[in-house]
């Protein structure tokens, strides 16, 4: 494979699409060696096809705010790859959403979904709608307006959206309500992350965070370490950070930092159950402000404006908020303060410089597409339940989630083991996901 030539072509064709180019570059560098061992991939131009989304939908979303003013946003759905199953991936509502951001996320989703062991293709969607400061009624009206367009693009055997940043159980409820009205059928299989009384997997809200901690546990054990007693810094305070905090506590680790766009909360004694519950209140308020935690628990949580979670000394760093949220400078500060493990829970949470710094300094590092795959995997389990009209208990879902995270870790070790016995999780995850998708594309012909 001529990685440099392919990258040069993409850079010329998509100038300025920094995140997308970054994601593609990482995958191509990881898979180059195995690709070159398969001339049939080169002949079928698998890589050239794989880096382009199958199709991209873009639509206007107009809604009315509480003051009666008409607002217009743009909605998108990027259907990236359907080699191993119907399109699957979240919806992101965030002011910074662009088609390019969703393209990078759809690309990543394709490999992540392949790692889950379940038959799901890759997709991503969303809108530049900013939930910050919006009322519940405004959120509902926006979701309804968004679905009046999206519903034509999706279906249980076609494309199954779920939540992502800014889209949780509440939004999925409003989206499903409008879908049902437009499609005139009660087919819960069209969305995942639904409420547990109407077809949702009982463990989906926690699944991304839980799966991530199961994965961290495998990474540590593989290196001869234990998670119990470790200190952890988490970024964000949304659904993913919330699940990670619950499971970290259950495993005997101490979460000593959470953060928001306004700054960081240092929690020296570790986050408590009460504080974890309060994260949900903070998310539902749409204030997007982590200082609220320090206001509510002034004896336990100490807020510093403008700082990130990575300024707090910890054993383990878990980015749980947004792409590129951990820079090389942050990585240096973490390592200088004794950090020995960083697992991305957000998609592409670390900048390339940070990843290299961690890897060159003996820090255990694992990428988002492996670490956070428990979320979409549990969505896949929800799809199975919906198709079979049955519901599993939390214990049954959790047992499957455990099995899936174990399998993802094994795949990373299989393809990422270095000569010295350590594991390159970036390489392992990329090769494992790539091989599965590439093989399926090859078998399905040139389409």
76 vs 59: CA distance, rounded Å = 6
Judged by DSSP in three states, 324 sits in coil
Q: Is 85 in the site for ligand 2IT (CB under 6 A)?
A: no
Closest CA to 123 of 72, 191, 25, 206: 191
Q: Is 162 in the site for ligand 2IT (CB under 6 A)?
A: yes
Near ligand 2IT in 96-125, by CB under 6 A: 109, 112
- Residue in the structure block whose two tokens are 């191509």: 28
Task: Compute the least distance from the CB of residue 66 to ligand 2IT, in Å.
Answer: 28
The phi, psi pair for 91, rounded to 5°, reads: -115, 130
Instruction: Out of 86, 90, 189, 263, point to the residue binding ligand 2IT (CB under 6 A).
Output: 90
Instruction: Out of 126, 375, 416, 433, point to the residue binding ligand 2IT (CB under 6 A).
Output: 375
Q: What is the DSSP letter of 17?
A: -
Task: Compute the least distance from the CB of residue 161 to ligand 2IT, in Å.
Answer: 7
Q: What is the DSSP letter of 421?
A: S
Task: Compute the least distance from the CB of residue 170 to ligand 2IT, in Å.
Answer: 16
- Closest CB to ligand 2IT among residues 35, 111: 111
Q: Residue 85 contacts by C-beta under 8 Å, 6 or more apart in sequence?
A: 113, 118, 119, 120, 121
Near ligand 2IT in 350-369, by CB under 6 A: none
Closest CA to 124 of 182, 166, 183: 166
| Count of residues that bind ligand 2IT according to CB under 6 A | 13
Give the rounded distance of the alpha carbon of 84 from its chain centre. Answer: 19
- Closest CB to ligand 2IT among residues 339, 405: 405
Task: Compute the least distance from the CB of residue 370 to ligand 2IT, in Å.
Answer: 11
Q: Which stretch binds ligand 2IT (CB under 6 A): 36-44, 288-296, 321-329, 370-378?
A: 370-378
Q: Is 239 in the site for ligand 2IT (CB under 6 A)?
A: no
Q: What is the DSSP string of 188-222?
A: GGG-SS--GGGT--TTHHHHHHHHHHHHHHHHHHH
Q: Which stretch binds ligand 2IT (CB under 6 A): 83-91, 143-151, 267-275, 322-330?
A: 83-91
- Closest CB to ligand 2IT among residues 113, 217: 113
The residue number whose beta carbon is nearest to ligand 2IT equals 90
Near ligand 2IT in 188-207, by CB under 6 A: 192
Task: Compute the least distance from the CB of residue 379 to ligand 2IT, in Å.
Answer: 3
Task: Compute the least distance from the CB of residue 88 to ligand 2IT, in Å.
Answer: 5
Task: Compute the least distance from the CB of residue 375 to ligand 2IT, in Å.
Answer: 5
Q: Is 89 in the site for ligand 2IT (CB under 6 A)?
A: yes
Which two tokens mark 287?
């204030």
- Closest CB to ligand 2IT among residues 123, 312: 123
How many angstroms separate the Cα of 129 from the Cα of each of 98, 138, 139, 168, 214? 11, 11, 9, 14, 33
Q: Is 383 in the site for ligand 2IT (CB under 6 A)?
A: no
Task: Compute the least distance from the CB of residue 380 to ligand 2IT, in Å.
Answer: 8
Instruction: Out of 376, 381, 412, 438, point to the residue binding ligand 2IT (CB under 6 A).
Output: 376
Q: Is 347 in the site for ligand 2IT (CB under 6 A)?
A: yes
Give the rounded distance of the alpha carbon of 239 from its chain centre. Answer: 11
- Closest CB to ligand 2IT among residues 89, 243: 89
317 vs 181: CA distance, rounded Å = 44
How many angstroms separate the Cα of 70 from the Cα of each of 65, 139, 175? 6, 14, 20
Q: Which stretch binds ligand 2IT (CB under 6 A): 86-94, 131-139, 312-320, 326-334?
A: 86-94
- Closest CB to ligand 2IT among residues 192, 430: 192
Q: Residue 423 contacts by C-beta under 8 Å, 6 or more apart in sequence?
A: 219, 222, 412, 413, 416, 417
Q: Is 79 in the site for ligand 2IT (CB under 6 A)?
A: no
- Closest CB to ligand 2IT among residues 144, 201: 201
Q: How crowded is residue 87: how many other Cβ atoms within 10 Å of its Cβ?
A: 30
- Residue in the structure block whose two tokens are 């005997």: 252
280 vs 227: CA distance, rounded Å = 25
Q: 27, 111 in Cβ contact below 8 A?
A: yes
Near ligand 2IT in 254-293, by CB under 6 A: none
Please list the active-site residues: 124
Instruction: Write 54-57 long-range contacts (CB < 8 A, 24+).
Output: 54/79, 54/80, 54/81, 54/82, 54/87, 55/79, 56/99, 56/103, 57/125, 57/149, 57/150, 57/153
The phi, psi pair for 152, rounded to 5°, reads: -70, -20
Q: 275, 282 in Cβ contact below 8 A?
A: no
- Residue in the structure block whose two tokens are 């403008």: 306
Q: Which stretch binds ligand 2IT (CB under 6 A): 51-59, 226-234, 293-301, 371-379?
A: 371-379
- Closest CB to ligand 2IT among residues 53, 90: 90
Residues engaged in binding ligand 2IT (CB under 6 A) = 88-90, 109, 112, 162, 164, 192, 347, 372, 375-376, 379
């Amino acid at each position: 494979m001529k990685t440099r030539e392919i990258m040069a072509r993409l850079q010329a064709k998509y100038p300025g699409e920094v995140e997308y180019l970054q994601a593609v570059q990482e995958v191509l560098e990881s898979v180059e060696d195995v690709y070159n061992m398969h001339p049939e991939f080169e002949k079928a131009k698998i890589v050239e096809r794989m880096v382009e989304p199958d199709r991209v939908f873009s639509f206007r979303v107009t809604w009315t705010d509480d003051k009666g003013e008409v607002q217009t946003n743009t909605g998108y759905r990027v259907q990236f790859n359907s080699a191993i199953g119907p399109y699957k991936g979240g919806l992101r509502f965030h002011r910074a959403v662009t088609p390019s951001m969703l393209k990078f996320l759809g690309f990543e989703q394709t490999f992540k979904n392949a790692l889950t062991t379940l038959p799901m293709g890759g997709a991503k969607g969303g809108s530049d709608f900013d939930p910050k400061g919006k009322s519940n009624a405004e959120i509902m009206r926006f979701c309804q307006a968004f679905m009046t367009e999206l519903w034509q693009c999706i279906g249980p055997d076609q494309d199954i959206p779920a939540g992502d940043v800014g889209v949780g159980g509440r939004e999925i409820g409003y989206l499903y309500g409008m879908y049902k009205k437009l499609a005139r059928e009660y087919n819960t299989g069209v969305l995942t992350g639904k409420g547990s009384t109407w077809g949702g997997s009982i463990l989906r809200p926690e699944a991304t965070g839980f799966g991530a901690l199961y994965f961290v546990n495998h990474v540590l054990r593989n290196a001869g370490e234990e998670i119990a007693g470790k200190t952890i810094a988490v970024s964000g305070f949304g659904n993913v950070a919330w699940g990670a905090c619950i499971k970290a506590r259950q495993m005997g680790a101490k979460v000593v930092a959470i953060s928001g766009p306004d700054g960081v909360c240092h929690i020296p004694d570790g986050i408590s159950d009460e504080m974890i519950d309060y994260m949900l209140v903070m998310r539902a308020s749409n204030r997007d402000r982590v200082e609220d935690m320090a206001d509510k628990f002034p004896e336990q949580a100490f807020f510093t404006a403008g700082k990130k979670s990575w300024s707090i000394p910890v054993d383990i760093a878990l980015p749980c908020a947004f792409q590129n949220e951990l820079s090389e400078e942050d990585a240096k500060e973490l390592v200088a303060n004794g950090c020995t493990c960083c697992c991305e829970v957000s998609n592409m949470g670390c900048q390339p410089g940070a990843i290299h710094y961690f890897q060159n300094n003996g820090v255990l590092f694992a990428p988002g597409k492996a670490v956070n795959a428990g979320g979409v995997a549990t969505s896949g389990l929800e799809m199975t339940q919906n198709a079979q009209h049955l519901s599993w208990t939390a214990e049954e879902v959790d047992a499957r989630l455990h099995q899936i995270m174990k399998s993802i870790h094994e795949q990373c070790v299989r393809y990422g083991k270095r000569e010295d016995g350590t594991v390159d999780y970036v390489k392992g995850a990329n090769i494992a996901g790539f091989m599965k998708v590439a093989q399926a594309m090859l078998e399905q012909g040139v389409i």
